[in-house]
Amino acid sequence: MCLFGIVDAVEDFFKSVVACACCLIIGGPALIIAGSILLNQKDNRKAFRDAVNEFNPTPMNDWTGTINNVPITVRRESLNVKGVDGATSVFAEAVVPVSQMSSSRLQVSVNVSAVTPFNRMAPFNIMRNSTYSCSSSDCKDGKDCKCKRDVRSFGEKCTARGGIYNKAPTWCEAGHICGECLETLYLRQLYLVVREVSNGKYAEDTNLRSAMYAFGDLDNDYQPGVPSTVTVRLYSSKDPYIALQRLTKGTNDLGLNSRTVGIVLIVLGCLFLLLEIGVCTALICYWTRPKKTPSGAAPYLAPPSYGIPTSGASGNAAPNFYAQPAQQTGQGYTYGQAAPPGYTYGQPPQGQPIPPGYTYGQPPQGYSYGP
C-alpha cells in the first residue's frame, strides 16, 4: 500500500510539472490572443451609453390616451446600470382588467396621442415545459443524495404551481436522475413597442413585437395562476431599456468592460512570456555551464623531460638518446629539488637501460659541461 502511495505521489508530481509547463508554453500566447480579441470587440457599455444619449423622452412626456379604455400613466424608471449615469426608461402604462377572460388570446387596443391607433392580439396563456437533470454518480446503494433531493424539490415546486410533473421522462440519459414539468402560464405584463416615424409622431413597430429579448410575440411576462389584470406597457423603440435587453440578451447585466478585460489579459500574457523566457534562459545557462574540477583533485601535469629537448636542440643542449620523453626519476621528483632517497647524481635511475656509448659520470659525445 505504501508503494502504491509513493507511485501515486510521483504521478501527481509529474502531472503538476506537465501542467505548469503547458501553462508556461501555451498560457502566455493564449492570453495575448484572447486579450486582442476582446480589445477588438464591441464595447457594450459604450453602446448602451450612446443609446442613453440618443434617447429623447420629451415627446413621450406629453402622451395621453387609453389602452383598452383604461387611461395611461407615463412612468419613468431608472435602469441602475453600473458605469452609466442617467439611464432612465420612459413608458406609458395601463392596468387592464381580464376577470372575464374566456379566450386564449388577449386583444389590446391602443389609443394614445401622437401614436397611430393599433390593435394587438397577444397570447393570454402558454404551455411551458421545463426540465431538470443531474448525475446520480454519488447516489449509491439506494442512499439519499443531493441529486435526488434537487429533483424531488423541482417536482414539488412544479406541483405547487399547478403543473404536471413527470419523474421519468423518456429523454433521461443513463446515470442521471431527471424530472419534467409541464405547466400553464398566464400573461401578467405585455410589452408593446412603437417607432418614431417623424418628429414626435409614432406608429406600431412590426419588427419589435415586444420590448423584452428576443422581441417576439411570446417574449412577455408569463407566470403561473390566472390573473385578474394585465399590465400593458408602451415603449419607444429607442428606449434605453430595449437597448439594454438587446446588448445583454435579456440579462440586463453588461458585466465587465471588454476593453479593460482585454488589456488585463494581454498584460498577464506578457508576464507569462517573460517568465517562460526566464526559465528557458536559466535552463540554458545550467546546461552550458563550464564543468568544474572535482574538489581536492590536483591539476594534470605533463611528465618532466629533465631539461633535454626532443627536437629543435641548439647550443650545448644534450640530445635525447632515448627517443622518448624521459621518465620521472622518482615519485614526486622534479629537477631543482633535492634528489630522492637512494638516488646518486651521476648514476642511472633505477630500472633505466644504459644507452650505447654512454659512460656514467661522463658527458655524452659532443657535449661538454660549462661554457
Query: Of the residues 214, 234, 255, which one is the last residue of a structural domain?
Result: 255
In a domain, 332, yes or no: no
Q: Which pLDDT score is estimated for 168? A: 92
Decide which of 182 and 367 is more confident. 182
- Same domain for 69 and 105, yes or no, is yes
Owning domain of residue 241: 44-125+187-255
Q: Which pLDDT score is estimated for 266? A: 87
- Same domain for 8 and 34, yes or no, is yes
3 state DSSP class of 113: coil
In a domain, 341, yes or no: no
Contact (CB, 8 A) for 159 and 203: no
At position 23, the amino acid (one-letter code) is C
- At residue 54, φ and ψ (nearest 5 deg) are -80, -20
In a domain, 139, yes or no: no
Long-range contacts of 143-148 (CB under 8 A, 24+ apart): 147/177, 148/177
Q: Which residues of 199-219 are buried (b: 16+ CB within 10 A; e: fewer)?
A: eeebebbeebbbbbbebeeeb
Q: How far apart are CA 20 and CA 28, in angstroms?
A: 12
Contact (CB, 8 A) for 288 and 299: no
Residue 308 has pLDDT above 60, yes or no: no
- Same domain for 25 and 100, yes or no, is no
Give the global pTM. Answer: 0.64
Q: How confident is the model at residue 312 (pLDDT cuts 50, 70, 90)?
A: very low
> For 249-275, how does the pLDDT look when each residue is reduced to its tens digit (9 = 90+)?
999 998 877 777 888 888 888 887 888
Q: Cell 441602475 sits at which residue?
A: 80
In a domain, 361, yes or no: no
- Same domain for 24 and 115, yes or no, is no
In a domain, 228, yes or no: yes
Q: What single string gives the DSSP state of each residue in 131-143?
A: EEEEE-TT--TT-
- Same domain for 77 and 121, yes or no, is yes
- Total of domains in the chain: 2
Q: Which pLDDT score is estimated for 348? A: 60
Q: Which pLDDT score is estimated for 65? A: 98
- Same domain for 66 and 20, yes or no, is no
Percent of the chain at pLDDT above 90? Answer: 47
- Same domain for 12 and 104, yes or no, is no
Decide which of 329 and 99 is more confident. 99
Residue 317 has pLDDT above 50, yes or no: no
> For 72-109, how does the pLDDT look when each residue is reduced to its tens digit (9 = 90+)?
999 999 999 988 888 999 999 999 999 766 678 999 99
In a domain, 338, yes or no: no
- Same domain for 104 and 216, yes or no, is yes
Q: Which pLDDT score is estimated for 42? A: 78
In a domain, 221, yes or no: yes
- Same domain for 20 and 115, yes or no, is no
Listed ranges 169-183, 282-296, 314-328, 352-366; the one with the highest mean pLDDT: 169-183
- Same domain for 118 and 192, yes or no, is yes
Q: How confident is the model at residue 10 (pLDDT cuts 50, 70, 90)?
A: low
Query: Of the residues 234, 255, 276, which one is the last residue of a structural domain?
Result: 255
In a domain, 33, yes or no: yes
Q: How far apart are CA 166 and CA 182, in angstroms?
A: 8
Q: Cell 419523474 sits at which residue?
A: 167
Q: Which pLDDT score is estimated for 359? A: 59
- Same domain for 28 and 49, yes or no, is no
- Same domain for 77 and 226, yes or no, is yes
Q: How confident is the model at residue 214 (pLDDT cuts 50, 70, 90)?
A: very high
